[in-house]
């Protein structure tokens, strides 16, 4: 696991997890938690590059990990069909909770005065569960994805009202925790026509920016698109990446976007470009919603 300085693009440290890493999250500027195929949740000190602790273990690969600062806990979700909570101060297990199937993606809402903290997890079988972070005893909601095929990514809205969900079918669904909310919808993306054929690409990554609440998607077409979800418009279309976009993230003030380009084996074991990480400076013009023009 490599740690980079986003401003300069220089590598700060290399952290040896000991097995392929599937997810990681920062708790502080110097503390990162990671998880992977060795079934472990581990804590590292970024400044020294040393492992502080093996926090705990699952019974299968650990796919997702989230840090919840309001509670000082780490949440991990695994292919062993469990979600586990860890005390960050003592690195001890708090509880183990069942989930419907293998974990695919997980996200936690930001703290807002209007909406309570929610944790949302997507699993195999197009299943989605919504949990109350302050009372992780049983899910508040059990849902089925509105998309027809396998879930790739799930990310909560910055305002805490709901979440975006993507799948292998080149679609994104905009969902709300209020099941009666009429604004929910789904849209097609990361598609193109080639030699008269419609090519559909998985949407592997979603990332919201904190400044405007708009979001980026990354697909196996090697394209990043930025969207205004409220007004249902694409703001920016960024091409030129060598292979599939596997992950995306904005920095804290939404001036930088990290783009991971990594072949996702959509066509099996074939020759492909090497993995690469790109840091893109993004502007308000690329991220800000465009106001509707008044009629003449």
Residue 294 has pLDDT above 60, yes or no: no
In a domain, 222, yes or no: no
Interval 268-272 mean pLDDT? 86
Mean pLDDT of the chain: 92
Interval 39-51 mean pLDDT? 90
Those residues with Cβ within 8 angstroms of residue 163's Cβ, 6 or more apart along the chain or in another chain: 107, 120, 154, 155, 156, 157, 175
pLDDT number for residue 136? 82
Interval 130-157 mean pLDDT? 94
State how many domains the chain has.
1
| Alpha carbon separation from 164 to 64, 117, 156, 184, 286 (Å, rounded) | 17, 16, 6, 10, 20
Those residues with Cβ within 8 angstroms of residue 202's Cβ, 6 or more apart along the chain or in another chain: 152, 166, 167, 168, 169, 170, 190, 219, 220, 244, 264, 266
In a domain, 50, yes or no: yes
Q: Kindly state the percentage of the chain with pLDDT values over 70.
A: 97
DSSP, collapsed to helix, strand or coil, labels residue 30 as: coil
Residue 200 has pLDDT above 80, yes or no: yes
Contact 154, 203 (CB under 8 A): no
Give the confidence band of 50 by pLDDT, cuts at 50, 70, 90: confident
pLDDT number for residue 133? 86
Report the CATH number at residue 78.
Answer: 2.40.10.480
In a domain, 67, yes or no: yes
In a domain, 7, yes or no: yes
Q: Strand 62-68 relative to strand 127-132: parallel, antiparallel, unpaired?
A: unpaired
In a domain, 279, yes or no: no
Contact 3, 30 (CB under 8 A): no
Those residues with Cβ within 8 angstroms of residue 190's Cβ, 6 or more apart along the chain or in another chain: 170, 200, 201, 202, 203, 217, 219, 220, 221, 223, 225
- Among 66, 56, 63, 64, smallest CA distance to 26 is for 66
Could you tell me which residue, 7 or 237, shows the higher pLDDT? 237
Those residues with Cβ within 8 angstroms of residue 113's Cβ, 6 or more apart along the chain or in another chain: none
Interval 90-107 mean pLDDT? 94
Those residues with Cβ within 8 angstroms of residue 222's Cβ, 6 or more apart along the chain or in another chain: 239, 240, 241, 242, 243, 244, 245, 261
Residue 161 has pLDDT above 80, yes or no: yes
Cα 93 from Cα 136, distance rounded (Å): 14
In a domain, 21, yes or no: yes
Cα 64 from Cα 61, distance rounded (Å): 9
Cα 123 from Cα 126, distance rounded (Å): 6
| Chain position carrying tokens 């949302």 | 120
- Domain of residue 8: give its range: 1-98
Residue 295 has pLDDT above 70, yes or no: no
In a domain, 103, yes or no: no
Give the confidence band of 48 by pLDDT, cuts at 50, 70, 90: confident
- Among 41, 35, 72, smallest CA distance to 56 is for 41
Contact 250, 264 (CB under 8 A): no
pLDDT number for residue 111? 67
Give the confidence band of 74 by pLDDT, cuts at 50, 70, 90: very high
C-beta atoms surrounding 269 within 10 Å: 7
In a domain, 247, yes or no: no
């Amino acid at each position: 696991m490599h740690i980079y300085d986003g401003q300069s693009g220089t590598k700060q440290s290399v952290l040896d997890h000991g097995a392929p890493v599937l997810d990681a999250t920062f708790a502080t500027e110097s503390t990162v938690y990671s998880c992977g195929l060795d079934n472990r949740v581990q804590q590292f000190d970024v400044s020294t590059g040393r492992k502080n602790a093996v926090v705990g273990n699952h019974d299968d690969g650990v796919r997702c990990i989230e840090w919840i600062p309001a509670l000082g806990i780490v949440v991990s979700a695994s292919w062993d069909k469990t979600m586990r909570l860890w005390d960050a101060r003592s690195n001890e297990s708090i509880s183990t909770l069942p989930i419907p199937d293998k974990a695919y993606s997980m996200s936690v809402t930001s703290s807002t005065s209007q909406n309570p903290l929610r944790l949302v997890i997507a699993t195999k079988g197009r299943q989605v569960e919504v949990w109350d972070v302050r009372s992780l005893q049983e899910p508040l909601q059990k849902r089925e994805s509105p998309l027809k095929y396998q879930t790739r990514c799930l990310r909560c809205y910055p305002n805490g009202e709901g979440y975006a969900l993507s799948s292998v079918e080149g679609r994104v669904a905009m969902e709300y925790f209020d099941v009666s909310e009429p604004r929910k919808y789904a849209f097609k993306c990361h598609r193109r026509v080639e030699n008269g054929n419609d090519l559909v690409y998985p949407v592997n990554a979603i990332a919201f920016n904190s400044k405007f609440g708009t979001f980026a998607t990354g697909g196996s077409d090697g394209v990043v698109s930025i969207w205004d979800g409220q007004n249902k418009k694409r703001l920016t279309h960024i091409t030129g990446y060598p292979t599939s976009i596997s992950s995306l993230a904005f920095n804290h003030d939404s001036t930088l976007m990290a783009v991971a380009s990594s072949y996702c084996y959509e066509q099996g074991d074939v020759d492909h470009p090497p993995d690469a990480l790109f840091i893109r400076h993004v502007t308000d013009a690329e991220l800000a919603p465009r106001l509707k023009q008044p009629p003449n």
